[in-house]
Amino acid sequence: MNGLAFDAVIATIAIPAAAAGILAVVPSWRLAARLNVIASVLTIAAACLLLWHRPAPTTLFLIDDLNIVFLLLNGFVGCTTSLFSASYIAHELQTGHLTPRYLRFYHAMYQVMMVGMNLALITNNLGLMWFGVELATLSTVMMVGIYRTPASIEASWKYLILGSVGIALALFGTILVYLAAKPVLGTGMAAMQWSNLRHHAAALDPALLNVGFIFLLIGYGTKAGLVPMHAWLPDAHAEGPTPISAVLSGLLLNVALYAILRFKMVLAMSHATIEPGILMIGVGLLSLFFAALMLYRRRDIKRLFAYSSIEHMGIIAFAFGIGGPLGNIAGLLQMMMHSLTKSAIFFSVGHIAQAKGTQKIAAITGLTTSHPLLGWTLVAGVAAIAGLPPFGIFTSEFLLITSTFARAPVLAVLLGFGILLAFGALLLRMTTLCFGAPSEGSHPISASSVPIFLHLGIVLLIGLAMPAFLYAWFAHVATMLG
């Protein structure tokens, strides 16, 4: 069984790696789109095997309840996004926005991105996790600029420069953690393993751990879209292909957050270090209020939901910062619900922009009349992401606010006010986009609705009745996070 489990671990990175090589040379874009879906399905199937068969930790790989959550979410959203991508990219080819040559590059980079994210999640090595995050970043940088317009090239360069600064700071923080571990665990790979670091955390140099975590929070926080390191995110969402917006918000931000949580777990086991939760609460509230205010000023529909992603990453950072059993459960649930809901919203938004021929909010009105399917799915998506019942985000935010109020009422009031501030902006924009007289320039479009309904259906079902096994799973992970 251990051999089967180890094979499944390898498959989560080998399948997308092999698919990337094949997709780089496949001449037919239709075949490439199908192969992209098949590779994504096989990857999520390999990840699912790890639910029942997990290998023992090795020098390179570690599978536990924490990264299984991220890995399964990564595979599921990656799979549904590949389905959406097939119809979206076909329209871009027909309208001349992309050429078959760029489509080969796009599909190959999509799988390279999956390699990087999965590697970062399953590795037991600090350096390999850093490499995985950087690989995922570079692949998405190239996909953001795939339209080769001045705006998309500028957005990709901005993403590259800010992302490089962030990853450099994360590397420096990783080196400091290694230096803290070296006197205890010796030189070499032993001082780079998560399993060793957490077990010996109390013996590590607290001063180096403190400084290292600050650099890591800033570095990986850049990739997570946390304020003030967020500036790349709105441009990347607005100018890149919409499927990439979906995986950026739904997946890559989570992987960067996962890296922060791993280091937080190490500090939590050492009583001589600073309290990392305080820093995460501060950054989380700053991100929440900044994004909530910026939502009122957005004029581009994709930028609007990019700032919504920053808002929710702030809420998630706050949840993990406040910690405790309920805070961590709320953070995990918020992360999952945000990934599913925001990717569904971008699926709708991508087809809306194609149908209207613009991303300008002022030129998009009356969607429920002109394009009922897209309009009403956007209404449902905005209701879910704004935290209205009975969707799952209402459950996670209610759990977070009530548990925080019992421990720190002032923080709970600030959190609730920030959420209400963002809610008002989203409600205002939804009214403009979805209702009233339809705007001119509407075109019929073949929308891929299965991924949208699948995501929103899961979010609704979890909001109505959270499965007992999911709560028990999250509760166990919450004890790991401290």
**pTM for the complete prediction?**
0.95
Q: What pLDDT does residue 441 have?
A: 64
In a domain, 298, yes or no: yes
d(CA 441, CA 357): 7
Which residue in this structure is represented by tokens 């607290």?
206
How many domains does the chain contain in total?
1
pLDDT at 1: 47
Structure-token pair, residue 428: 């205002």
> pLDDT tens across 190-221, in order?
889 998 898 888 889 999 999 999 999 999 99
How many H helices and E strands in the chain?
20, 0
Stretch among 28-37, 41-50, 303-312 having the lowest mean pLDDT: 28-37
Cα-trace Rg, the chain: 21
Residue 333 is assigned to a structural domain of this protein = yes
User: Encoding tokens for residue 355?
Assistant: 């149908």
First to last CA, the chain: 31
Residue 341, domain extent: 275-482
Which residues, 6+ apart, have CB-to-CB distance to 52 below 8 Å? none
Per cent of the chain over pLDDT 70 is 98
Q: Model confidence over 379-406: pLDDT tens digits? A: 999 999 999 999 999 999 999 999 999 9
Q: Flag whether 185 is in a domain.
A: no
Residue 444 pLDDT grade (very low, low, confident, very high; cuts 50, 70, 90):
low
Residue 281 lies in a domain: yes
* Tokens encoding 29: 């874009």
Question: For residue 393, is it within any domain?
Answer: yes
- Amino acid 454: pLDDT: 94
CB 129 within 8 A of CB 123: yes
d(CA 407, CA 329): 16
Which residues partner with 317 through β-bridges? none
Please give the residue that has the higher pLDDT: either 88 or 108. Answer: 108
Give the distance from CA 328 to its chain's centroid: 17
pLDDT in tens, 151-203: 889 999 999 999 899 999 999 999 999 999 999 988 888 889 998 898 888 88
pLDDT at 238 over 90: no
Bridge partners, residue 300, by sequence: 360
Dump pLDDT digits (tens) for 110-138: 999 999 999 999 999 999 999 999 999 99
- Please state, in angstroms and rounded to a whole number, the distance separating the CA atoms of residues 154 and 160: 10
Name which of 292, 279, 305, 286 is nearest 216 in CA terms. 279
Which residues, listed in sequence order, are joined to residue 61 by a DSSP beta bridge?
Answer: 123
Domain contains 236: no
Distances 219 to 84, 212, 281 between C-alpha atoms, Å? 31, 10, 17
- Nearest-angstrom CA–CA distance, 179 and 57: 22
Lowest mean pLDDT among 4-8, 94-98, 326-330, 339-343: 94-98
Residue 116 lies in a domain: no
CA angle 459, 370, 391 (to 5 degrees): 15
d(CA 87, CA 448): 6
Burial pattern 206-231, b for ≥16 Cβ within 10 A else e, equals bebbbbbbbbbbbbbbbbbbbbebbe
Mean pLDDT of 333-340: 96
Q: What is the mean pLDDT of the chain?
A: 90
Which of 157, 334, 139, 166 lies closest to 243 in space, CA to CA? 139
How far apart CA 215 and CA 173 sit, in angstroms, is 5
- The answer to whether residue 188 sits within a structural domain is no
With tokens 């098949």, the residue in question is: 38
What the block records as the tokens of 413 is 């009031």
